[in-house]
Amino acid sequence: MQSSDKVNIKEALNERDGFQVWWRLLRPHTLTASFIPVFVGSMLAFREGYVNLPLFIAMLIAAVLIQAATNMFNEYYDFVKGLDSEDSVGIGGTIVRDGIKPKTVLQLALGFYGIAILLGIYICLESSWWIAVIGLGCMVFGYLYTGGPLPIAYTPLGELFSGFLMGTVIIGISYFIQAEVITPEVIFASIPIALFIGAIMLSNNIRDLDNDKENGRKTLAILLGRRNAVRFLASMFIIAFMITAILIIADILPIWSIITFIGAVKAVDVINKFKGKTQPIEMMPAMAATGKTNSIYGLLLGVSLFISMFI
């Protein structure tokens, strides 16, 4: 690719130098998949009178670090395997466009894991060492998402693993370290968040469908085809809101949680942004809107749980 093409791609993606190089490496639009589950799990515990702010902060930082490190592993291994180029959309571009050494990205990811482990030790000392087993499992899967002989990202199971681990498991851990117990109600309440996080992964794979197909991946989006994948994405949103309604009716979530349906507006926006789009750069707004849908829903759910403590 000519240098002029490189500049055009950077301009089209509004990529700037300096601090933003490292900020993009974190893929901030995906970090909603880490802080929202911690927030919701903690609010579920706070609602029942279990409050430990240091544990909440430690868990929040650890979850974000693990998610960011997973993104870095993705950046590193996709580059090593020749999947990323200067005109790739949806990546941080730190290696292929900004010239950061691959080794530096890998070392930074491992450093983030190291800090997360230290925070995990503190969390275990204050709660249970079973958290270490579960936490390490999440970290292993984070690495195996793009690393290892058969990366999860290359299979139709990416949405399932990301939704379950980042949604249900993280919400469960965040609740457990506060309450020292886990209940079926917490698991039920985690399902919509798990679906929204899986939706983030699916929207990413819809955007990258053509490139992934050329490189031999077998993602869910590839198996379904772009049009059906967008329909499946819409069904995930619908099911998430339907389950929310059921949880409110069953009194598992407070009536105040009805405010989460404001997020349906953004969910509709996601589907509209995907319609008629075939080029990755055209689908970037839809990808970003999917993350915002999870953020809006999760933040409003947490707020509704907080309000219900006083009313």
Q: Over the stretch 170-183, which tens digit does the pLDDT of each residue have?
A: 999 999 999 999 99
Of 269, 267, 253, nearest to 296 (Cα)? 267
pLDDT digits (tens, 9 = 90+) for 16-38: 666 778 888 888 878 888 999 99
State the pLDDT at residue 151. Answer: 85
Please, what sign has the CA dihedral across residues 169, 174, 180, 181? negative
State the pLDDT at residue 15. Answer: 57
Contact predicate 294/33, CB 8 Å: yes
Cα 36 off chain centre by: 9
Q: pLDDT confidence of 7, banded at 50, 70, 90?
A: very low
Indicate whether 160 pLDDT > 50: yes
* pTM for the predicted model, two decimal places: 0.87
CATH of 14-302 among 2.30.33, 1.10.600, 3.40.50, 1.10.3470: 1.10.600
CA distances from 2 to 5, 8, 103 (A): 5, 10, 25
CA atoms lying within 13 Å on the CB side of residue 280: 15
pLDDT digits (tens, 9 = 90+) for 62-120: 999 998 998 888 888 888 877 666 666 666 678 877 788 989 999 999 999 999 999 99
Average pLDDT, the chain: 88
Return d(Cα 234, Cα 198) in angstroms, integer.
12
Domain boundaries, the chain: 14-302
Residue 82 DSSP class? T
Return d(Cα 233, Cα 290) in angstroms, integer.
10
Q: pLDDT confidence of 147, banded at 50, 70, 90?
A: confident
Return d(Cα 284, Cα 106) in angstroms, integer.
25
Could you identify the residue written with the tokens 């967008």? 230
Exposure of 283 by Cβ count < 10 A (0-12 exposed, 13-18 middle, 19+ buried)? buried
Contact predicate 287/27, CB 8 Å: no
* Proportion of the chain above pLDDT 70, given as a percent: 91
Q: What share of the chain is helix, strand, coil (3-state, %, to 5)?
A: 75, 0, 25
Coil vs helix vs strand at 238 = helix
Please state the rounded mean pLDDT for residues 220-232: 96
Of 29, 290, 67, nearest to 170 (Cα)? 67
Q: pLDDT confidence of 9, banded at 50, 70, 90?
A: low
